[in-house]
Amino acid sequence: MSTPTTGQRQYAKTPGQRARILDAAMAVFARRGERGASLREIAERVGMSQAGVLHHFGSKNALLLAVLDRFDQEDQPGHPLLTIDESVAFVREELVQGLQRPGLFQLQITLAAESIDPAHPAHDFFVDRYRRVTSQFVEPLDAAAASGGLRDDVDTTALAHLVMGAMEGLQLHHALNPEVDTVASFDLLLDVLAEAFIVSSTPDQV
Protein backbone atom coordinates (compact mmCIF):
# COMPACT_ATOMS: atom_id res chain seq x y z
CA MET A 1 0.00 0.00 0.00
CA SER A 2 2.98 2.20 -0.16
CA THR A 3 2.09 3.54 -3.59
CA PRO A 4 -1.62 3.38 -4.19
CA THR A 5 -2.50 2.87 -7.83
CA THR A 6 -6.05 4.00 -7.28
CA GLY A 7 -7.12 7.54 -6.46
CA GLN A 8 -5.21 10.67 -7.38
CA ARG A 9 -1.54 10.05 -7.89
CA GLN A 10 0.28 11.83 -5.06
CA TYR A 11 3.40 13.51 -6.41
CA ALA A 12 5.79 13.54 -3.52
CA LYS A 13 7.25 16.93 -4.35
CA THR A 14 10.32 15.64 -2.62
CA PRO A 15 10.72 17.31 0.75
CA GLY A 16 14.39 17.68 -0.02
CA GLN A 17 13.78 19.92 -2.99
CA ARG A 18 11.15 21.92 -1.17
CA ALA A 19 13.64 22.55 1.61
CA ARG A 20 16.34 23.64 -0.81
CA ILE A 21 13.94 26.05 -2.48
CA LEU A 22 12.88 27.41 0.89
CA ASP A 23 16.51 28.03 1.82
CA ALA A 24 17.11 29.93 -1.37
CA ALA A 25 13.87 31.90 -1.11
CA MET A 26 14.67 32.88 2.45
CA ALA A 27 18.05 34.22 1.41
CA VAL A 28 16.73 36.12 -1.58
CA PHE A 29 13.72 37.56 0.24
CA ALA A 30 16.07 38.63 3.01
CA ARG A 31 18.34 40.44 0.60
CA ARG A 32 15.84 41.99 -1.77
CA GLY A 33 12.55 42.00 0.07
CA GLU A 34 9.49 40.31 -1.36
CA ARG A 35 9.01 42.99 -3.98
CA GLY A 36 12.61 43.08 -5.05
CA ALA A 37 13.00 39.31 -5.19
CA SER A 38 12.31 37.35 -8.35
CA LEU A 39 11.51 33.71 -8.77
CA ARG A 40 14.27 33.55 -11.33
CA GLU A 41 16.91 34.58 -8.83
CA ILE A 42 15.61 32.02 -6.37
CA ALA A 43 15.51 29.34 -9.04
CA GLU A 44 19.04 30.15 -10.13
CA ARG A 45 20.32 29.54 -6.60
CA VAL A 46 18.66 26.15 -6.48
CA GLY A 47 19.89 25.32 -9.95
CA MET A 48 16.55 24.87 -11.63
CA SER A 49 14.21 26.87 -13.81
CA GLN A 50 11.65 29.38 -12.62
CA ALA A 51 8.87 27.01 -13.67
CA GLY A 52 10.46 24.30 -11.57
CA VAL A 53 10.19 26.44 -8.46
CA LEU A 54 6.56 27.20 -9.16
CA HIS A 55 5.84 23.52 -9.54
CA HIS A 56 6.60 23.07 -5.84
CA PHE A 57 4.85 26.09 -4.40
CA GLY A 58 2.28 27.13 -6.97
CA SER A 59 2.82 30.86 -6.68
CA LYS A 60 5.25 33.40 -5.37
CA ASN A 61 2.78 34.27 -2.67
CA ALA A 62 2.53 30.71 -1.45
CA LEU A 63 6.31 30.55 -1.37
CA LEU A 64 6.41 33.69 0.73
CA LEU A 65 3.93 32.23 3.19
CA ALA A 66 5.97 29.05 3.46
CA VAL A 67 9.06 31.12 4.20
CA LEU A 68 7.25 33.10 6.88
CA ASP A 69 6.00 29.89 8.38
CA ARG A 70 9.45 28.47 8.69
CA PHE A 71 10.84 31.75 9.93
CA ASP A 72 8.29 31.73 12.70
CA GLN A 73 9.31 28.25 13.76
CA GLU A 74 13.04 28.91 13.77
CA ASP A 75 12.38 31.96 15.85
CA GLN A 76 10.30 30.22 18.47
CA PRO A 77 11.76 29.60 21.94
CA GLY A 78 12.24 25.93 22.77
CA HIS A 79 10.30 26.30 25.99
CA PRO A 80 7.82 28.87 27.33
CA LEU A 81 9.44 31.99 28.75
CA LEU A 82 8.19 32.31 32.27
CA THR A 83 10.66 34.62 33.97
CA ILE A 84 12.30 37.87 32.99
CA ASP A 85 15.66 36.16 33.05
CA GLU A 86 14.49 33.59 30.56
CA SER A 87 12.95 36.19 28.27
CA VAL A 88 16.00 38.41 28.36
CA ALA A 89 18.34 35.50 27.82
CA PHE A 90 16.26 34.37 24.87
CA VAL A 91 16.18 37.67 23.00
CA ARG A 92 19.82 38.35 23.78
CA GLU A 93 20.75 34.96 22.42
CA GLU A 94 18.74 35.74 19.29
CA LEU A 95 20.76 38.89 18.88
CA VAL A 96 24.04 37.02 19.24
CA GLN A 97 22.92 34.33 16.81
CA GLY A 98 21.84 37.03 14.41
CA LEU A 99 25.46 38.07 14.04
CA GLN A 100 26.33 34.66 12.68
CA ARG A 101 23.17 34.23 10.66
CA PRO A 102 22.53 37.69 9.28
CA GLY A 103 19.96 36.26 6.92
CA LEU A 104 17.39 35.62 9.63
CA PHE A 105 17.29 39.13 11.00
CA GLN A 106 17.61 40.65 7.61
CA LEU A 107 14.55 38.72 6.54
CA GLN A 108 12.72 39.96 9.58
CA ILE A 109 13.60 43.60 9.11
CA THR A 110 13.26 43.75 5.36
CA LEU A 111 9.92 42.02 5.20
CA ALA A 112 8.54 43.72 8.31
CA ALA A 113 9.32 47.15 6.91
CA GLU A 114 7.83 46.29 3.53
CA SER A 115 4.79 44.95 5.34
CA ILE A 116 3.89 48.31 6.79
CA ASP A 117 2.00 48.73 3.53
CA PRO A 118 -1.46 47.23 4.17
CA ALA A 119 -1.42 45.95 0.59
CA HIS A 120 1.72 43.88 1.20
CA PRO A 121 1.11 40.12 1.20
CA ALA A 122 2.87 39.72 4.55
CA HIS A 123 1.08 42.61 6.27
CA ASP A 124 -1.26 40.50 8.38
CA PHE A 125 1.50 38.11 9.30
CA PHE A 126 3.71 40.80 10.80
CA VAL A 127 0.90 42.66 12.52
CA ASP A 128 -0.04 39.43 14.21
CA ARG A 129 3.54 38.47 14.90
CA TYR A 130 4.38 41.66 16.76
CA ARG A 131 1.28 41.26 18.88
CA ARG A 132 2.32 37.75 19.82
CA VAL A 133 5.93 38.57 20.55
CA THR A 134 4.96 41.55 22.63
CA SER A 135 2.64 39.61 24.89
CA GLN A 136 5.27 36.90 25.18
CA PHE A 137 7.39 39.60 26.75
CA VAL A 138 4.82 41.52 28.74
CA GLU A 139 3.59 38.44 30.57
CA PRO A 140 6.83 37.61 32.39
CA LEU A 141 7.23 41.29 33.21
CA ASP A 142 3.76 41.48 34.73
CA ALA A 143 4.36 38.27 36.62
CA ALA A 144 7.55 39.71 38.05
CA ALA A 145 5.82 42.94 38.97
CA ALA A 146 3.11 40.99 40.75
CA SER A 147 5.56 38.90 42.72
CA GLY A 148 7.71 41.84 43.72
CA GLY A 149 10.66 41.15 41.42
CA LEU A 150 10.04 44.37 39.56
CA ARG A 151 9.31 47.85 40.77
CA ASP A 152 5.53 48.04 40.70
CA ASP A 153 5.31 51.51 39.16
CA VAL A 154 6.78 50.35 35.84
CA ASP A 155 4.80 50.53 32.61
CA THR A 156 5.52 46.96 31.55
CA THR A 157 4.05 47.44 28.10
CA ALA A 158 6.24 50.45 27.39
CA LEU A 159 9.18 48.49 28.73
CA ALA A 160 8.51 45.50 26.48
CA HIS A 161 8.14 47.71 23.43
CA LEU A 162 11.36 49.48 24.28
CA VAL A 163 13.37 46.29 24.50
CA MET A 164 11.94 44.85 21.32
CA GLY A 165 12.20 48.11 19.45
CA ALA A 166 15.80 48.61 20.46
CA MET A 167 16.67 45.13 19.37
CA GLU A 168 15.24 45.59 15.94
CA GLY A 169 16.42 49.12 15.41
CA LEU A 170 19.94 48.10 16.34
CA GLN A 171 19.78 45.29 13.83
CA LEU A 172 18.71 47.70 11.12
CA HIS A 173 21.60 50.01 11.89
CA HIS A 174 23.99 47.11 12.00
CA ALA A 175 22.82 45.93 8.59
CA LEU A 176 23.67 49.33 7.14
CA ASN A 177 26.82 49.88 9.17
CA PRO A 178 28.58 46.76 10.42
CA GLU A 179 30.54 48.87 12.88
CA VAL A 180 27.41 49.09 14.98
CA ASP A 181 27.87 46.63 17.82
CA THR A 182 24.34 45.46 18.46
CA VAL A 183 25.21 43.33 21.44
CA ALA A 184 27.19 46.07 23.18
CA SER A 185 24.35 48.55 22.84
CA PHE A 186 21.75 46.01 23.83
CA ASP A 187 23.70 44.97 26.91
CA LEU A 188 24.00 48.60 27.84
CA LEU A 189 20.22 48.82 27.73
CA LEU A 190 19.72 45.63 29.73
CA ASP A 191 22.15 46.72 32.42
CA VAL A 192 20.56 50.09 32.84
CA LEU A 193 17.05 48.68 32.91
CA ALA A 194 17.98 46.02 35.43
CA GLU A 195 19.58 48.56 37.69
CA ALA A 196 16.58 50.83 37.50
CA PHE A 197 13.68 48.42 37.74
CA ILE A 198 14.65 45.01 39.03
CA VAL A 199 14.16 44.47 42.72
CA SER A 200 16.69 41.84 43.55
CA SER A 201 17.69 40.13 46.76
CA THR A 202 21.26 39.75 45.50
CA PRO A 203 22.51 42.89 43.77
CA ASP A 204 24.39 43.00 40.46
CA GLN A 205 22.12 40.43 38.89
CA VAL A 206 20.86 40.82 35.34
Partner DNA sequence: GTCTATATTAAGATAGAC
Partner DNA sequence: GTCTATCTTAATATAGAC
Which parts of this chain interact with a second copy (CB under 8 A)? Answer: 31-33, 35-36, 106, 109-110, 112-117, 119-120, 126-127, 130-131, 134, 155, 157-159, 161-162, 164-173, 175-177, 180-182, 184-186, 188-189, 192-193, 195-196
161 within 8 A of 130, measured Cβ to Cβ: no
Nearest-angstrom CA–CA distance, 157 and 29? 31
H or E stretch covering 29: helix 15-36
- How far apart are CB 33 and a second copy at their closest, in Å? 6
Output 1 or 196, the one with its CB closest to DNA: 1
Residues 10-29 touching DNA, rule: CB under 7 A, are: 11-14, 17
Q: Which residue stretch of 58-66, 79-87, 157-165, 194-202 sits at the interface with DNA (rule: CB under 7 A)? A: 58-66
Q: What is the DSSP letter of 75?
A: T
Q: Which of 38, 76, 135, 200 binds DNA (CB under 7 A)?
A: 38
Q: Residues 146-175: x/- map of binding to DNA (CB under 7 A)?
A: ------------------------------
Nearest-angstrom CA–CA distance, 64 and 36? 13
201 within 8 A of 147, measured Cβ to Cβ: no
Distances (CA, A) of 164 to 17, 37, 67, 138, 186: 35, 27, 22, 11, 10
**Binding site residues, DNA, CB under 7 A:** 11-14, 17, 37-41, 43, 47-52, 54-56, 58-61
